[in-house]
Chains A and B, each alone.
Chain A
Amino acid sequence: MTKFSDLTRLPDARGHFGPYGGRFVSETLSFALEELEKTYLSLRDDPDFQAEFDRDLAYYVGRPSPLYHAERWSAQLGGAQIWLKREDLNHTGAHKVNNTIGQALLAKKSGKPRVIAETGAGQHGVATATVAARLGLKCEVYMGAEDVERQKLNVYRMHLLGAKVIPVESGSRTLKDAMNEALRDWVTNVDDTFYVIGTVAGPHPYPMLVRDFSAVIGREAREQSLKQIGRLPDALVACVGGGSNAMGLFYPFVEDEKVKMYGVEAGGDGIETGRHAAPLTSNAPQGVLHGNRTYLMSDEGGQIIDTHSISAGLDYPGVGPEHALWKDVGRVEYVAANDDKVLEAFRELTRLEGIMPALESAHALAHAKVLAPTMRPDQHIIVNLSGRGDKDILTVAKIDGVEF
């Protein structure tokens, strides 16, 4: 028994991770969530379901994803060895597909002909549109109007995949507003629609099932580390918006006390400016949004604060409830990387390793850049390279003053 062994037994029967999580939804959705929970719990330990999931991950997604030793970058940083978990090499280019494969199987078992999703950077939308195309499901994706603008390539990808992208004009026109609109759709069409949530947030059972589907990342990384490094790594680093890729990498290591974990939030212009998307690092108050209690950026009146990040995928005022608990118990250290440092890491990895990371993943790289020089060359850090950067080329070009 380790100090953190209790953490693998959560959530409790009502979906709580300590004081966080839960099922804070309007009554119309309660029944659908109860049904989903029943379906998932009955399938979770079903060998046939697991085999189908594993098969799809192997032959459709292309798993396992490699664990790559970034030797040149490590040498330049002059400290610990950096290893990249290459989720960018998955089909559709990010870790999001692990979860959508799993949820699509649940949708199929539930017999629902239509799926909906919210998306920020568009990666989850693309991953949902992809599995929907493969299973012949009708797919509609809600995306904040501001994100539609800054992620045009993914919008067109979804269109090509046969999904309908619905721009959301309300509120701050970003990820949280897309989630509001998806919930409104679900409440209206709950009989025939499966809501594919893209992160470890939302009402129970979503944080649990998205974690379980994403945990393949950490299971592989653990095995690969033992094989390639010969032991467990000293540290794990992953970016945190809602927190699905970090949860996926961290969860299988949670009882390995000696493995340090760093969750990197979007520092935007800097925590001190208030223009960021880092509820954990900034110690935001507890709050309830989108069905769960968590650290949540809200003003004194309880209104949700507009967030800011260079990366659409991290531009969210809350965070998955299990991360909130892990902060409180000290299992994970949550830090922030500011936009300028993120861009620097983006450029550095691209030039030194020939790997162009998503701006979301570049947050994790930016912290690895801080961490590595404080460690010895015989120590090892695994960074989750959660997605590839093709979708961000226009954003970076704009910053460089280049117009196409």
Chain B
Amino acid sequence: MNRIDQRFAALKEQGRTALIPYITAGDPSPEHTVGFMHALVEAGADIIELGVPFSDPMADGPVIQKACERALKHGTRLSHLFEMVREFREADQETPVVLMGYLNPIERLGYRVFAEQAAAAGVDGVLTVDMPPEEADEFGPLLKEQGLASIFLVAPTTSESRAATICAHGEGYLYYVSLKGVTGAATLDVEAVDRQLAPLRRLTELPLCVGFGIRDGASAAAVGRIADGVVVGSALVSRIAEGVDDPVSIAPALKAVLGEMRRALDA
């Protein structure tokens, strides 16, 4: 059983909601990333989404765009991410790590090489924002071969027939994008999300995790009542941005934000 499935099984038993933080690898510079990952786990992370920086992050708002720019200034690339995950695994064998990003860096490395190296490093799942299941004929099976979960997005605009296709291909969990927009956009409408999760529940047993628009304990708790997991990205990445000139301040700041969400979810 993949670490992601194990984690969700354990959470279900405990009646808890998964807390899934996202940070961009290499932001503000590569030597900090593994420390941040451990800090996130200490603050209550169940799964870590590690962003692969890309020069043209089309689905992201300004906060994550700038994070990509900071990471790329230091030349962060996939080979560095694999090293980071390997180092993280030396101290943490339990927490699932999902790589999240855009297709081109993977395309350039080659699907097979990517899958092999990611699995060897200790990665558990892959979410490629600009690769819908229809285009994943070649990539999907290669990930599966290596025991890596293919995680897909579902959006408010996803039709029922598309949702069925996505559910058939998805593994690990489904990432429900709570609003039409880019990451870091306006606040979300929890009731609307709740209405849209219901038909998905009929289509799949996969845990449903909700991201986009979760910024504090209150919004995390509200989403936590209707979803199996909450994903938080821009709220964390903006703390990293604030600490660029004083990197030692970042890990405590991340822990404070995530810790508040953890407590709100568990209350």
Contact = CB atoms under 8 A, between A and B. Distances in A.
Interface size, A (range): 35 or more
Given A26-B177, A187-B182, 13 more contacts: A24-B130, A28-B155, A28-B177, A30-B158, A177-B56, A184-B60, A187-B181, A189-B180, A290-B58, A301-B75, A301-B78, A302-B104, A304-B56
Contacts of A296: 104
Q: Which 5 A-B pairs have the closest CB atoms?
A: A302-B105, A301-B77, A302-B108, A28-B155, A27-B153
A34 B103 contact: no
A191 interface: yes
A109 interface: no
A28 B108 contact: no
A25 B132 CA distance: 7
A170 B103 contact: no
Interface stretch (A4-12, A249-257, A280-288): A280-288
B180 A288 contact: no
A296 B105 CA distance: 12
Interface residues of B, number: 43
Interface string B69-113: 000100101100000000000000000000000111111110000
A273 interface: no
A170 B129 CA distance: 20
Interface in B23-68: 54-62, 65
Contacts of B152: 27
Contacts, number: 123
B194 to A, nearest CB: 19
Chain A, interface SS category: mixed
Contacts of A177: 56
Interface in A154-199: 170-171, 176-177, 180, 183-184, 187-191
Given A31-B157, A171-B55, A184-B58, A23 B132 contact: yes
A85 to B, nearest CB: 33
Nearest to B212: A28
A26 B59 contact: yes
B134 interface: yes
Contact of A180 (B56, B131, B159, B177): B56
Given A188-B181, A291-B130, A303-B54, A28 B156 contact: yes
